[in-house]
Structure 1
Amino acid sequence: MKAARAALWAVLGIVVVLALVAGGVALWAGYNKSPLPIADRCTATAGDHTTTVDPEQARYAAIIAGMSIKRDLVPRAASIALATAYQESGIRNLDYGHADSLGLFQQRPSKGWGTEEQIMDPWYSTRSFYREMEKVKGWRTKDINDVAQAVQRSAYPEAYRRHEQNARTLASSLTGETPASFTCVVAQRRAADPGGMDDFLVKTLGAANVTISGKDDRLTVTAGSPIRAWAVAHLAIASTSVYGLSGVTLGPYSWAHSTSGLAEWVGNGPTDTASEVVLVFDGAKPR
């Protein structure tokens, strides 16, 4: 009997420990606004830091970074915008918030940011953020937190600071500054949609910055420079869950999506010579 009780208490102890660990991991993920370790996820790596986001966050981060390229802004602009979106919404397009705050940046219709419908358009809200950011004197050199606060005028003026490193890493990867640095794993992607990816890249980066051709199961994207080509590659990967991307080739480098883990970029040689990206969609229907 004593042995049975001891075994029961041991099992209960293990259950409690596992529950505490699971709860701790969930709290950590919530605090850091990142997915759980075993969930669908995307990672950006720059230097010795890796930032993890879920596919939804990745796509909105891609819009934010891509819009900085469309506006011909330096990557620092994307760092500022991403740090702001991290704090305001967790890089999610929220249809609720304090008072009448909405969207990626929790902009308020009552404060002149636009209508509810406009603010819920992530391209519109990102463009609006950049327009206000560019009015901040010295935004290119001032502290990221302080520039974000100058735009947002938050009741928590230092809150953006803790997101700076993650924002810088995402911005460096998604603007193409750090080649072969972004990857995703998505267990169940939507059906292959090269047409949707075409529209997404043109809308996000601007028709003047990319030329896209192709049909059926692949798109060939010609960018203006190797850095911009890497931005195209990474933005496409960040949208894997929505458009069913299967693979990417850029010069001597390639990436192939895997449902079992984060796929690495494969290849060697210079990363600053190719400006053409091939996007592959397995099972795509003819357009």
Structure 2
Amino acid sequence: MPEPSPQPPKRRGRLFRFSSAVAVLLALAGYLVVQYVTGGTGAPGCKVVSGRGGGPQYEFSPEQAVNAATIAAVGTGRGMPERAVAIALATSLQESGLHNIEHGDRDSLGLFQQRPSMGWGTEKQIMDPAYAAGTFYEHLAKVPDYKRLPLTVAAQRVQRSGYPEAYAKHEPDASLLAAALTGQSAATLTCQGRPEVRTEAAATGPDAVRAALVRDFGRDAFQETGAEVRATTAASPSPSATAGAHGRTVTVPVPPAGKADAGRTAKERGWQLAHWAVANSSALHIARVSYAGREWTAGSTDSHWRPTGAPGTAGAERSAGSVRIVTGQ
């Protein structure tokens, strides 16, 4: 009986390439699964939906949520309108994907890929998200009639990019984020709230929440209105809290609307603070956020804002006067 002939070289080559491709795909799938399960920077983790219901939605990672919340807070702190915040968010989505990256074209850095050599600041300043956002708004405010310009045109007047039309494709997602993170749309931003995986110890608890509030909104934003951020130990969980979620509570009174608020109401300012807290939930180990009769709880399967009282009741109206942030530590 004749022995089987050896496998032709060409066929062996095809099998090797096929096996290599399968191995690469399996490795990539494993990486994405690990990122998703651990809450890494590639995990979706957060979602923003339209305030009208049944409209578009955008999913993004906890890292992107923190940066987006900072961009919005800095903008409203400067009295910039929702349109300006949408322009800034679309710009960062295009330039860095809302990641604070340490590299780019030539000496470009950070959320907006700003260049130290072009007078945007030092490398250290540009890598500070609050500074980077502030200097972007400073330049945007000098663009004549920027609120009426197409978004991509307004962004290009600031950035002077080699791809002037690139910002337009991010306008739908940026508009959703801006509506939520300026408080125009209530209870529209949620996150799963898984703690971030870090290689070094991260500050958490009420002190970390207060420091992050000052970092993004500015110390004067609270002091000028007489508002105070205070931390207290929760004696027991609220009626809608999950068992064992005692934690520590930071109560942030909602300041009344002022001249620097670009026409926003106090309730819109409250929803901005509430959404800011949810966006920072993974980084700061925030377990619950309550405002205006609604509550978000980390770890729930759908991350919806649940009602804590009937709309229009005295309890719901009283809860609109402050945002309660419960940390896990």
Shorter-chain TM-score category?
0.7 to 0.9
Give the counterpart of 2:158 among 151, 154, 165: 151
SS of structure 1 residue aligned to 2:125: helix
User: For residues 1-287 of structure 1, what are the structure 2 equivalents within 5 Å?
Assistant: 39-46=43-50, 47=52, 48-189=55-196, 192-210=204-222, 211=227, 212-216=229-233, 217-224=248-255, 225-258=266-299, 261-267=301-307, 269=311, 274-282=320-328, 284=329
Distance 1:191 1:72 in 2: 30
| Percent identity (aligned) | 37
Residues 40, 51 of structure 1: CA spacing in aligned structure 2 closer, same or farther, 3 A cutoff? Answer: closer
Aligned residue type for 1:104? L
Contact 1:226 1:272 in 2 (8 A): no
SS of structure 2 residue aligned to 1:110: helix
C-alpha distance after superposition, 1:60-101 (max 9, x if no partner): 000001111110111111100000000000001110000000
Which residue is 1:5 aligned to? Answer: none
SS of structure 1 residue aligned to 2:83: helix
Residues 94, 214 of structure 1: CA spacing in aligned structure 2 closer, same or farther, 3 A cutoff? Answer: same
Distance 2:284 2:102 in 1: 23
Which residue is 1:29 aligned to? Answer: none
Which of 1 and 2 has greater Rg? 2
Aligned residue type for 1:137? P
Cα distance, 1:237 vs. partner? Answer: 0.7
Contact 1:40 1:187 in 2 (8 A): no
C-alpha distance after superposition, 1:236-276 (max 9, x if no partner): 11011111100011121111111x63410011526988131
Cα distance, 1:223 vs. partner? Answer: 1.6
Does 239-248 or 45-54 show the bigger shift? 45-54
Aligned residue type for 1:175? T
Q: What value does the CA root-mean-square deviation take over the aligned residues?
A: 2.7
Residues 157, 60 of structure 1: CA spacing in aligned structure 2 closer, same or farther, 3 A cutoff? Answer: same
Residues 195, 111 of structure 1: CA spacing in aligned structure 2 closer, same or farther, 3 A cutoff? Answer: same
Distance 2:195 2:138 in 1: 37
Cα distance, 1:55 vs. partner? Answer: 0.5
Question: Which ranges in structure 1 are unaligned for 5 or more consecutive residues?
Answer: 1-11, 27-34
TM-score norm. by structure 1 comes to 0.82
C-alpha distance after superposition, 1:155-202 (max 9, x if no partner): 000000000000000010011100001111143346742211111112
Contact 2:130 2:216 in 1 (8 A): yes
SS of structure 1 residue aligned to 2:179: helix
Contact 1:254 1:266 in 2 (8 A): yes
Contact 1:101 1:109 in 2 (8 A): yes
TM-score norm. by structure 2 comes to 0.72
Aligned residue type for 2:311? G
Cα distance, 1:142 vs. partner? Answer: 1.0
Cα distance, 1:232 vs. partner? Answer: 0.4
Contact 2:194 2:298 in 1 (8 A): no
Aligned residue type for 2:170? H
Aligned residue type for 2:326? V
Question: Which ranges in structure 2 are unaligned for 5 or more consecutive residues?
Answer: 1-17, 33-40, 197-201, 234-247, 256-265
Does 40-49 or 184-193 show the bigger shift? 184-193
Cα distance, 1:213 vs. partner? Answer: 1.6
Aligned residue type for 1:117? K
